[in-house]
Amino acid sequence: MTNESLKKVFEHEKNFWDDIYKKRLLNNKNPKKFLSFWKEEYYKEINFFLESLFYKYKYSSLLEAGCGAGKHSLLLDGNIDKTLLDISPAAIEYAKYLSQKFKVENVEFILGNIFEMPFQKETFDFVWNTGVIEHYEIPDIEIILKEMLRLTKKNGMIAVGVPNLFSYPTIKA
């Protein structure tokens, strides 16, 4: 993808997600941690798995690259240093709002894109995202994954979550 094409992608992504998170900020006066039993179980399973990795490998820092609301990372153990990055200023504001509502500490918010993240090489133990890369073409996904790997410490880990297109919640949505 050319630099001009990437700029168009960044602008589109920023505008699209800004619109969504601006609406959430306006309409979400009292956010709940879980909107349904299914969501609660979903977050519990992911959090149990991730926290067990952090405990097993003695990880202490994570980057959620393309965090949106950041809820996945915000609900993890309070001893984990969390960095949440998104291209949308409104998404970052919403993630900050949720972190205050849920009384989350050890979190930093960064405005930036997942193709060129503003961090030194090997900064984080764990770099991840969920519901992000499936929006891109294979060559762009390769760039994103290389950037995630660049930021991951030796003996660290990256993880990528994509929706299961055949799951009941995805079909329903």
Q: Give dist(CA 102, CA 120) in Å, integer.
A: 29
Helix (H, G, I), strand (E, B) or coil at 73: helix
> What is the model's pTM?
0.86
pLDDT band, very low/low/confident/very high, at 106 (cuts 50, 70, 90): very high
* Angstrom distances, CA of residue 95 to CA of 26, 85, 149: 14, 10, 24
What is the pLDDT, as a whole number, of residue 34? 57
Task: Dump pLDDT digits (tens) for 25-79.
Answer: 777 666 666 556 566 777 788 889 999 999 999 999 999 999 999 988 999 988 9
